[in-house]
Structures are given as structure tokens and as C-alpha cells.
Amino acid sequence: MSVTMNTLQALDQYMTTYGSSDSSNFNRKYNKRSSRFAMHDSSELQNLYSTIQWKNRFAPLYLTDPTPRSIAYAIHLKESANSLKQTIGLLSNDDDLFSMKSAYSDNESLASVEYEPDDADGEVPTDFTLEVENFASPQVNTSKYLKANQPVSLEPGSYSFDILTNKLHYELQFNVHEGDTNNDLQKKLSRLINNSDIGVSAKVVQTRGLSALEVTSDAYGLPVQGERHFTITDENTTYRDGIVDYLGLNKTIKEATNAIYSIDGNEESSYSNTFSVHGAYHVTLHPENSAADTAVSDQITAHAAAITNANSAAKNPSARIGLYPDAESLSNNIETFVEGYNRFMNGVINDETEESLTKLLSKDLHKFLDLHSYNLEKYGISINADATLDYQKSDEINDAAAIKGFGSQILRKLNAISLDPMEYIDRRICAYPNPNATYPNPYMTSIYTGMLYNNYM
């Protein structure tokens, strides 16, 4: 395909908007495993190329004059269709649409869970009890609390200090100026540490007119090597020393800890608050939940007391985790699909998009949904006037054949949209192909056909 100004505009629009993006925010919560629609092997690419050739062979020659708005709309439509295909793929087990089982946790504030059957280690139980004794935590060094607005009592000049990690040695250099306050200095060091990207982060904490510098390791859990994730020192630094002692950067050190938990009474540990159980259950603990954190701390204290006092019984906070029944899993999958479909529709047809750009898509999808309305109604799915869907959730679905048939049809529709989004932009037909010719039409149906492959181009 020859490179034209329109081609360059389309490619620039695509790379600017989507080139560095991951997947949509909606898909990110489901992308623990890669969707089969998010990548192509060589045979699939060959089939896609053949499809493009076949489409071009029988397509007429169109006269297009794409504007920046239509370019942006066509590319956004293509990417949105690909995103919805990925959502359907993540809800399906191989080619069995909407068959992915889903897991539950009866204590989401303590632990959430995702189910990935491809990662299973042998036979996976339908449920288990998780008890949490301790969360994984990072190492935290907290400096002395100093009067925030009090001038620094160090002499002006160039200073430096070292942060030693298990792998590398970093020297950080800075200047102290006349009139700098303790808070100014702490903020300066916080920015210096954060901008250095050395495996630790820093922030300034304030209370009642006092402020302190808090340095935290990016790594959680006990160090694989050494006693600590990092050490702060200025004993052998290049410029003036004294900053470590002045701020008290080694004054209060909260050591990193592993997550300690039990599965059906069997104690285990993890370096992080995310771990797998039986391979398929991916559990995430939530120490940020203050209620759960307080509960764990209280339970740990009670647990320690129970060791010395046999009459004191304490139970760690727990969650029952397991798989939903098949009917409920299917219902959850349909609900997720409807959310994804509505996100697709609201993303490409909204108040900010010109009606002239969206009318063809809206009309086509209305027609498509009306053909399947009878089967959709069986599952509590209704069609709105704007071609979005409403879902009345039900856990009593016994037959999934109709919704799986609909899933196959909407995948075909999404493939067609992704293949040539310019089908949904007004364009004039200039000439039809010779029906007796067997060679491919030398004119592409559009400059977008088959050119863009999401982030995997």
C-alpha cells in the first residue's frame, strides 16, 4: 500500500492515542491472563491478510476525504472493537464462550480473588478458608520529627548521602541554602529520591507543625539477601556529611515483613500480599483497608497473648474463598460482557462525537441486536433506544446455548468493524470492480483496512 498524507495522519493519530497505552481501564482488572484476541500467531495473520485481499477483490472503489475527526473516530472505533473482543475472550475458556468460572471472597475488605484455570496445579478445590495472621509490608525509615518552619541548622553548602540496596550503591547529592527550612529540606530530598528511581520512594509526613521524611522500599517482604532492603549512610560520601544524623534517617526503622496466612489450617507465607492458592486462585490481601488492618493487628496481639495464656482464644481474620456455581458464573460473565459492551457503545457514540459519524454504526448495531432480541431476553438482557443494553441479573440460568450463539455472532460483527471501520463513515462509490476479473482490486477499501493491530503491530 502506498504511503499517502492520509495514511500518515491515520498512523500518527493511532500512535499518539494508543501507541503507549496498555489495555483499557475496564480490561485491566481482567488481564491477568492474555486474551487470545490480543495477539496473533502466524497462521492467524495469514488468514487476516487473506480476508483483507478477499474483501478488496469485491469491494468498489470509494472516494474518501477523511477529516481529522473521521480519522480519530475510525481508529477509536477499531480499538474499541478490539477491546470488547478481548473482554469476551477473557470471559471464555478457549472457544467455549462465556464459560469462564468466577471466584468469590466473602470478605473482600480482607482479600479479593481472581480465578485463572490455566494456572491450576492439579485438582483445584471448589472452596477453602483463608486466615491472615500478618500482611506483607515494606521497610520504612522515618526520620526525626522536626519543626517544619524552623530554619535548617546545617551550614549552607553541598551535601550528599548514600542509599545502599542489596544490588547497588547510590550517592545522592544536594545543596542546602541559607534560609531553607526543615520542611524545605525534607521536600527537596523527597523529590531527589523519587526522581532517582532506585527502588525506594519518599514522602514528607506532617503533624501539629512538625514534619518528617519517610523513606519506603518498593519491595515487600523479607529481603532475599541481607537484613534490610536498603541502608542510608553518609559515612563515606563525596560531599559534606551530617544529613543522616541531622534528620535521623536511621532513627526509626520499621522492618519489612512477609505475609503469613493459612489455607484450611496449613500455614504459609509470601513475600507480597498477592499470591496463588492451588495455582488457579490469585489472592490479593488488602492491608490498606484500615478496618482489616486494625483487625489483623488486634488479632496478632491476641494471638501472642494466647501463646502465654492457654485460656485466651484468638482467631485471625478470615475469608471463605471459592468458585461460584456454574449458573452464577455465567450470570457474572454476562454482566461483565454487558458492562463491556455498554462501555464500547458509550465510548464511540456520545455527545462529543458528531452524529454524522455515528449514525451508520448506531443503525447497524440496532439492526444486529434486534435480530437477536428474542434470545437476549431469555437471559434478562433488554435493548435500549441508543443500542446499549440493560441486564437483569439472574442466577437461575440453565441453558447457555443461546447466549453463546449470540457471542459468536457479535465476535463476527466486531471482527468486521475492526477489519474496516471506514464502513461506518460516509463515502461515495466511484466505481465497481469488474465481476469477471480474478485479480485483487488494486485500490484498498480504505487506508485503515488491516493496517493497525492494536498495540501488537
Task: Going from the first residue of the chain to its last (457 residues), give the mean pLDDT of each consecutive group of 10, the final group possibly shorter.
Answer: 53 63 48 54 76 74 75 86 90 84 92 89 90 94 95 94 88 93 95 93 94 95 89 91 93 92 94 93 87 46 45 70 91 93 90 79 92 91 92 81 92 89 79 67 52 44
Grid coordinates of 341: 459492551
What gap in Å lies between CA 321 and CA 115, rounded to an integer? 10
What local confidence, expressed as pLDDT, does residue 444 receive?
52
Same domain, 344 and 437: yes
Tell me: do 237 and 149 sit in the same domain. Answer: yes
244, three cell numbers: 543522616
Q: Are residues 132 and 142 in the same domain?
A: no
Q: Are residues 220 and 334 in the same domain?
A: no
447 shares a domain with 335: yes
Q: Which domain holds residue 309?
A: 103-136+258-323
Instruction: Please state the length of the chain.
Output: 457
178 and 298 part of one domain: no
pLDDT given at position 183? 95
> Of 110, 72, 85, which Cα lies nearest the Cα of 35?
85
Residue keyed to cell 483496512: 449
Residue 205 sits in the same domain as residue 187: yes
- The cell numbers describing 383, all together, are 435493548
Whether 247 and 366 map to the same domain: the answer is no
pLDDT at 17: 66
The CA distance from 124 to 382, in Å, is 36
**Domain-terminating residue out of 206, 234, 254:** 254
pLDDT at 358: 86
Among the candidates 254, 278, 296, a domain finishes at 254
Which neighbouring-strand residues pair with 93?
96
CB 200 within 8 A of CB 117: no
**pTM, whole model, 2 decimals?**
0.69
Q: Are strands 389-391 and 381-383 parallel, antiparallel or unpaired?
A: antiparallel
Query: Are 413 and 352 found together in one domain?
Result: yes
Three state DSSP letters for the chain? CCCCHHHHHHHHHHHHHHCCCCCCHHHHCCCCCCCHHHCCCHHHHHHHHHHHHHHHHHCCEEECCCCHHHHHHHHHHHHHHHHHHHHHHHCCECCECCCCCCEEECCCCCEEEEECHHHCCCCCCCEEEEEEEECCEEEEEECCCEECCCECCCCCEEEEEEEEECCCEEEEEEEECCCCEHHHHHHHHHHHHHHHCCCEEEEEEEECCEEEEEEEEEEECCCCCCCCCEEEECCCCCCECCHHHHHCCCCEEECCECEEEEECCEEEEECCCEEEECCCEEEEECCCCHHHHHHHHHHHHHHHHHHHCCCCCCCCCEEEEEECCHHHHHHHHHHHHHHHHHHHHHHHCCCCCCHHHHHHHHHHHHHHHHHCHHHHHHCCEEECCCCCEEECCCCCCCCCHHHHHHHHHHHHHHHHHHHCHHHHCCCEEEECCCCCCCCCCCCCCCCCCCCCCHHHC
Total domains in the fold of the chain:
3
Domain boundary residue, one of 323, 344, 363: 323
Q: What are the angstrom distances between the C-alpha of 17 and each of 13, 83, 121, 236, 421?
A: 6, 14, 40, 48, 17
Nearest to 37 by CA among 425, 444, 421, 407: 407
* 161: CATH: 2.60.40
Give the pLDDT confidence score for residue 15 in this predicted structure. 64
Looking at residue 39, what is its pLDDT? Answer: 61
Do 42 and 66 reside in the same domain of the chain?
yes
What does DSSP say about strands 210-220 and 146-147: parallel, antiparallel, or unpaired? antiparallel
pLDDT at 390: 94
Query: What is the model's pLDDT at position 296?
Result: 46
Distances in whole angstroms, Cα of residue 260 to Cα of each of 64, 118, 415: 63, 26, 47
Query: Could you identify the residue written with the cell 468498489?
Result: 60
My answer on whether 93 and 164 are in the same domain is: no
Distance in angstroms (rounded) separating the CA atoms of residues 171 and 311: 54
Nearest in space to 413 (alpha carbons), one of 378, 375, 372: 372
Please tell me the predicted confidence (pLDDT) of residue 298: 47
Q: Which residues touch 205 (CB under 8 Å, ≥6 apart)? A: 142, 211, 212, 214
pLDDT value at position 74? 84
pLDDT at 18: 64
The C-alpha cell 434470545 sits at 375
Q: Quick one: 86 and 110 in the same domain?
A: no
How far is the C-alpha of 400 from the C-alpha of 99, rounded, in Å? 9
User: Residue 421: what pLDDT?
Assistant: 86
